[in-house]
């Protein structure tokens, strides 16, 4: 069984949110994603399963062949 994140698309480098300021004016805010590394994290950590395994093993996920499994 593949996890829901299997071969997911890359995150956008940034996005713009539009809203209204305190006085009703239009405000655009750029939210940048370049401060983190876009990678797989499903195998990070230990102790999640009953035998101390990681998340992927504890849930029976097959991550082989995923482009993020480097």
pTM: 0.56
DSSP-derived secondary structure for 11-65 = PPSEEEEEEE-TTS-EEEEEEE-TTS-----TT--S--STTS--HHHHTT---TT
d(CA 42, CA 40): 6
Whole-number pLDDT of residue 36: 78
At 21-43, the pLDDT tens digits run 999 999 988 888 777 788 888 88
């Amino acid at each position: 069984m593949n996890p829901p994140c299997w071969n997911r698309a890359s995150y956008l480098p940034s996005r713009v949110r539009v809203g209204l300021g305190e006085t009703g004016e239009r405000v655009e805010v750029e939210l940048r994603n370049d401060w983190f590394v876009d990678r797989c994290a499903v195998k990070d950590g230990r102790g999640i399963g009953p035998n101390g395994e990681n998340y992927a093993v504890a849930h029976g996920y097959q991550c082989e062949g995923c482009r993020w499994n480097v």
